Amino acid sequence: MTHAGMSGCGRVAAIHDISGIGRCSLTVIIPIVSAMGIQVCPVPTAVLSAHTGYGEIVMRDLTDYMMPALAHYRRLGVEFDCIYSGFLATEEQIDHCLDFFAAYPDALKVVDPVMGDYGRTYSTYTDAMCRRMVELAAVADIIVPNMTEAAILLGEDYTAETAVPMTASQAKSRLVRLAQKGPKMIVITSAELADGTICNIGYDKIHNSFWKVVCDYVPKQYSGTGDIFASVITGGLMKGDSLPIAMNRATSFTELAVKTTFSYSGDPQDGILLEPCLGWLTAAQVLKDFAPL
């Protein structure tokens, strides 16, 4: 099922921050989703001088912008085929995302529950915000957490030091428990499995199907890869991909971009060297294999 509507190529409201330095959030979402033939309408949650990995940053909270923007779109009669949320600056912004979802009940609802990574929450996230993120995930069509964010949503203790590889059965259990909280589809990124592979793993609750796409290991951690992956998933689903095809497309592109960045010895803090890779999204694509989990 596609979610392209009156705008022809499809239109997505992207509720994310914008960071001036470090390729992530809206600075990667806009070019990626646009390259996939879909109009991106940014709804910025905050403006940051750089992403939070740079330490002490300059940040302007845009909570008071979100609802007037929604009201304006409703007055204009603007329709969105997808509402796609990511980094949120305040607990109140979670309420505003719920308002966007309620205003466009037929839109594809994508929640990237950006809360932390490597066993730690981001410095701007409070315990209350993490608890409220469960409410947002509950009304989503698809959520795309990393392992840390999946643990937060499940109320589990997870740190980079205590993390252990999962068996296929354990991975399925984690996906199902997340689905029981409401979302129809779940994709967990960079899951380490007991067979020694690192995979993106997914579950389609409606079809009761589990999927995995194996990732090649690169010995660097780059900022913004989660935003890149979730953006290609979003574009793929809007264009009619099934979940495993969307996962496959997103894994293939993210891996290409990571390997390109690594080959040029790019600074991980600066994020992925995205610009030379965008053409892949519009060319004949060579995809990775996917398989049942």
Per-residue model confidence as pLDDT tens digits over 85-143: 999 989 999 999 999 999 999 999 999 999 988 888 887 889 999 999 999 999 999 99
- Residue 2 confidence (pLDDT) above 50: no
In whole angstroms, what is the distance from residue 66 CA to residue 69 CA? 5
* Residue 17 confidence (pLDDT): 95
Q: How far apart are CA 284 and CA 109, in angstroms?
A: 28
pLDDT at 260: 93
Q: In whole angstroms, what separates CA 195 from the centre of its chain?
A: 26
**pLDDT single digits (tens) 31-89:** 999 999 999 999 999 999 998 788 888 999 999 999 999 999 999 999 999 999 999 98
- C-alpha closest to that of 222 among 186, 187, 274, 147: 274
Closest CA to 89 of 123, 50, 38, 117: 123
Q: Are 47 and 87 in contact (CB under 8 A)?
A: no
Give me the pLDDT at residue 1, please: 39
For the stretch 263-289, pLDDT in tens is: 998 788 888 999 999 999 988 676 777
How many residues are present in the chain? 293
In 3-state terms the chain splits into helix, strand, coil percentages (rounded to 5) of 40, 20, 40
Q: Which helix (H) or strand (E) holds 93?
A: helix 91-103
Contact at 8 Å (CB) between 233 and 246? Answer: yes
Query: Which residues, listed in sequence order, are joined to residue 205 by a DSSP beta bridge?
Result: none
Comparing CA positions, the residue from 204, 201, 222, 203 lying closest to residue 212 is 201
The angle that helices 63-76 and 91-103 make with each other, rounded to 10 degrees, is: 10
Structure token digits, residue 270: 């600066």
End-to-end CA distance of the chain: 23
CA distance 42 to 2: 21
Residue 19's SS3 state is strand
Q: How confident is the model at residue 6 (pLDDT cuts 50, 70, 90)?
A: very low
Give me the amino acid identity at 199.
C
The token duo for 257 is 């971009």
> What integer is the mean pLDDT of 131-158?
95
Cα dihedral angle (34, 209, 183, 147), rounded to 10 degrees? -80
Q: Which two tokens stand for residue 60?
A: 């302007």
- pLDDT tens by residue, 193-217: 999 999 999 999 999 999 999 999 8
**Tokens matching residue 48:** 């940051």
Give the torsion sign (CA, 4, 206, 212, 110): positive
Predicted confidence at residue 270, as pLDDT, reads: 87
Alpha helix locations (H) across 104-164? 127-138, 147-154
**Residue 17 and residue 269: Cα distance in Å, rounded?**
17
pLDDT of residue 51: 86
Q: Catalogue all structural domains in the chain, each as residue range(s) with its CATH number.
A: 11-292 (3.40.1190.20)
Quick one: tokens of 248? 């496959």
Are 162 and 189 in contact by the 8 Å Cβ rule? The answer is no
Instruction: Report the pLDDT value the prediction gives residue 74, as an integer from 0 to 100.
Output: 97
Q: Of all residues in the chain, what percent carry a pLDDT higher than 70?
A: 96
> How far apart are alpha carbons 224 and 222 in whole angstroms?
6
Does the pTM surpass 0.85? The reply is yes
CB 282 within 8 A of CB 236: no
Which pLDDT value is given to residue 284? 64
